[in-house]
Amino acid sequence: MLGLAKRVRARILQASTSRSTAIRRCTRQPEDYWGHVNPIGIRSCYDEGKRVAETLMMDYFRQHKVDIRIAAFSTPTGRTWPSTTGG
C-alpha cells in the first residue's frame, strides 16, 4: 500500500488503538507516552505488527515524502464495546 501511495501520490492512513496494544503505566495517557509492550507475549504479533507498520510509514515519509497519517485512538469505547475489555 505504501508503494501504491508513493506511485499515485496519495495520502495513506495507519489507524490503531493505543490502549489495546500496550500495558498502561499511567491513568491518563499523555501524548509522549511510548507504552510498555511485551515482545514475546500472547498478543505480541499484534503489538509488534503495529510497531513495524508505523515504522514503515515513517520510513516512507522520510525517504519518499509520502503523505502519511498515523492515528492512535487511546480510548476505544462505544455502545457495542464489551465492558470487560477495559475500554
Span 4-49, pLDDT tens digits: 999 999 999 998 775 544 455 555 666 676 666 777 888 788 878 8
Residue, of 85 and 12, whose pLDDT is higher: 12
Residues belonging to the active site: 46
Residue, of 43 and 54, whose pLDDT is higher: 54
C-alpha cell at 29: 495517557
The DSSP secondary-structure symbol of 83 reads: G
pTM equals 0.65
Burial of residue 7, with CB atoms counted within 10 A of its CB: 0-12 exposed, 13-18 middle, 19 or more buried: exposed
